[in-house]
Amino acid sequence: MRRRSFLTMSGGAAAFAIVTTPASAFPTIPGRPDAEAADALSWIAYRDGRYLLSLPRAELGQNISTGLKQVACAELDVAWEAIDVVTPDTNNIAPYRATVGSESIQDYALPLAQACAALRDALAAGRRGPIEVEERPLDELRAFRPGTIKDDVPIVDLDRIVFGQPLFAADVRLPNMVFGRVLRAPVSPEIPSRPQAFDAEAAKADRGFVALVEDDTLQFNKSRGLGIIGATPSALDRIEAALSVDWDIGEIPDNDTIERALDIDRRLARDSVDYDVVNETIEEEAAWDVDMRIDTPMAAHAAIEPRAAVADMGRDGGRLWVGSQDPFYVRDTLADRFDLNEEAIIVIPKRTGGAFGGKVLPMVEIEAAALSHAIERPVKVQWTRGQEMILAYHRPATSHRLQARVQDGQVKDWRHRFSSGHVIFTNAAMPRWLQFFTDFIGDFGSARNALPPYRLGARAIGYDLERLPVHTGAWRGLGAGPNTLAIDMAMEACARATNRDPIAFRLDHITDPRLKAVLTAVAELAPPTTTKGRGVGCGIYKDTSYGAVIADVGLDEDGTPFVERLFAAHDCGKVVNADQVRAQCEGNLVWSIGMVLTERLTFADGRIAEQDFLDSPIPTIRDVPEIEVALIESEASPTGSGETLMAAAPAAIANGFAALTGKRPERLPFRAEDFRS
């Protein structure tokens, strides 16, 4: 029986089962308020002739500290030097949402401007005491008037970054601090494993040995960990070798389990898919003008900084220094794990060296807290690159089948079926029994951007979910990258099947004026070319930000694919910092090169086979082509720029190779052998 059929028959049974399950059985689930102007009064303060901006977001390298300071300076009408920016701990700011989804400017700039306006007026009037925020229309706020926000400002903390001053969790040094590591079996945490035997006496003989920790808090999904603590980082390597742990490991799935489980054609041969995005009546018998398959592999977040945390935990609470996208989630999780009040755990967010959706769930933070709690001393835990690959969650693999019919220059019928691992309801946070219930509603992260931004005829779009034997979860753009790649590859194929210009064909299918504007703009930005290797892609991200990309591609003498030039147009409404928006666009473009040409994780022997960037290379400077970005500023409120071009650039690159070679490989990343005759 299919899930949606079961749900229809069972009515409220699923909800009843969830409600009546003991609360202690649930993982901690973060819940945060929306950002409102009244809350923003706690973000901005005036003391002793200076302003203090308490950052209500995690700084992940997107430079939101700079962007929000620009808004505050513009609204308060003060010099850049008049405002200090601090990142407060969780006891000194009201809870805020995880820094995800390119939401920081979109959701926090306006409340901050409202609060700054109220503070400015109160100071001008000489009023003392509590300030009340009267929300003003956008056009009454100084920060959003043309030319008010200054672009020529320094990036907050840039000098400290350049000169290597301590900014990150791994930089924290505390008196009496030692170093920890949690040893785990070399398999995915989805596979049951635990330490079966180890040589504790040999480990204790090492001069750097501090402690051996066996504790329930070191259980991560189905992986039982063994904690070691040493006086120095190098001591951890010696202690681990001396322990010589023998692991008890459960049944390991076949290496082709993931590909077989997600194979969309295999699934469709058995049944239809479980979740409908839209299900309109489509003619079944007529031949398809386009019938294509595209599979995307698992991929790592590949942040240059491996995750790290420093914990100083006692029996009654403690402090943690973290590089996390959600410090309040860390706080709540640890309070639950150690049966403490939330206020007893103080989390101090540090600048994070890249995250891209991969540093939301508390993992290394739990390990550091557990080890520190066991010995009541400060402990630093920093993952290795191999731990990042094996233990972290990754972009799930997907498998797509797209079919389309074109009549009189218009797409008449459109069918898109795909399968994916989980993105939002991740197995990294949810046990199988709980994920069973979330599966009744699907996974909006896996389905993100599955609905094309084009005017089409009859549409049948749906997907399946599969709990994979490795952890999967949020990755830059969630499902938008794989889904829009497949959609826009099919649109390009429709254009070429009818001998239409790909840009003109898309414009004939676009009704949204802002999407039409970015596509027109990128067509004007890219100079005429005689090369055959030119591809196009465009999309709307989260119904708020718009992007279009043209890619010129080629093949080396040995057939290796490369990207020669990239042109992009981007519309995220009011632009707060043009340089940083361009930087986000460029980051998306480089990520798209990696997605199409280099990055892939494979499953072998019960775990991710790749252990470093040599095994799963990310783009380097020599892979980055000439890039030109045009920003289209509209009168709309500011929205996000951190993920928009993931809904356009991968397809543009892939379409370039299809145009160049006449071949459309069925799986990413593209290799030289894909284009050989």
Domain extents in the chain = 37-162, 169-251+307-382, 257-299+393-675
Assign 130 a pLDDT band (cuts: 50, 70, 90): confident
Helix, strand, or coil here: 179? strand
Which tokens in the block code for residue 214?
């066996």
Residue 320 CA to residue 349 CA, distance in Å, equals 8
- The per-residue pLDDT for 634 is 81
- The per-residue pLDDT for 193 is 98
Torsion sign (Cα): 393, 395, 400, 406: positive
Backbone angles phi, psi at 521, to 5 degrees: -65, -40
Q: Please say if the pLDDT value at position 15 is more than 70.
A: no
Assign 6 a pLDDT band (cuts: 50, 70, 90): very low
Asked if 206 and 238 count as a contact pair (C-beta separation under 8 A), the reply is yes
Give bridge partners of residue 478 from the DSSP assignment: none
3-state secondary structure string across 518-536? HHHHHHHHCCCCCCCCEEE
- The per-residue pLDDT for 232 is 97
Assign 531 a pLDDT band (cuts: 50, 70, 90): confident
> What is the rounded average pLDDT of the residues 201-207?
97
Query: What spatial distance separates the first Cα and last Cα of the chain, rounded to whole Å?
Result: 45
Q: Please say if the pLDDT value at position 160 is more than 70.
A: yes
* Cα–Cα separations (whole angstroms), residue 636 to 29, 166, 374, 514, 549: 33, 38, 53, 11, 22
Backbone angles phi, psi at 278, to 5 degrees: -155, 140
Q: Please say if the pLDDT value at position 277 is more than 70.
A: yes
Assign 633 a pLDDT band (cuts: 50, 70, 90): confident
The reply to whether CATH 3.30.365.10 applies to domain 257-299+393-675 is yes
Helix ranges (DSSP H) in 352-431: 364-375, 385-391
Which tokens in the block code for residue 327?
């410090």
Which pLDDT tens digit goes with each residue over 411-457? 999 999 999 999 999 999 999 999 999 999 999 999 999 999 999 99
Q: Please say if the pLDDT value at position 228 is more than 80.
A: yes
> What is the rounded average pLDDT of the residues 348-371?
96
DSSP state of 140: G
Backbone angles phi, psi at 22, to 5 degrees: -55, 135
Q: Considering only residues 394 and 9, tell me which one the structure prediction assigns the higher pLDDT.
A: 394
Instruction: List, in order, residues 6 or more apart from 499 with CB less than 8 Å away.
Output: none
- The per-residue pLDDT for 27 is 62
Residue type, 608: I
Which tokens in the block code for residue 391?
């233990």
Instruction: Tell me the CATH architecture of domain 169-251+307-382.
Output: 2-Layer Sandwich (3.30)
Between 20-24, 219-223, 258-262, the lowest mean confidence (pLDDT) is in 20-24
Sheet holding 246-249, edge to edge: 219-220, 223-224, 193-197, 246-249
Between 6-15, 48-57, 224-233, 400-409, the lowest mean confidence (pLDDT) is in 6-15
Q: Which long-range contacts (CB under 8 A, 24 or more apart) does 127-134 make?
A: 131/41, 133/37, 133/38, 133/40, 133/41
Helix, strand, or coil here: 466? coil
* Cα–Cα separations (whole angstroms), residue 598 to 144, 262, 315, 438, 619: 41, 21, 47, 33, 7
Q: What is the DSSP string of 29-90?
A: ----PPP-HHHHTTTEEEETTEEEEE--S--SSS-HHHHHHHHHHHHHT--GGGEEEE---T
- The per-residue pLDDT for 676 is 84
Any idea what the Cα angle at residue 673 is, between residues 668 and 677, rounded to 5°? Answer: 125
Asked if 73 and 42 count as a contact pair (C-beta separation under 8 A), the reply is no
Residue type, 156: V
Q: With 0-12 CB in 10 A as exposed, 13-18 as middle and 19+ as buried, what is 640?
A: buried
Q: With 0-12 CB in 10 A as exposed, 13-18 as middle and 19+ as buried, what is 570?
A: buried
Indicate if 169-251+307-382 has the same CATH topology as 37-162: yes
Q: Which helix (H) or strand (E) holds 654?
A: helix 649-661
| Fold classification of 37-162 (topology level) | Aldehyde Oxidoreductase; domain 4 (3.30.365)
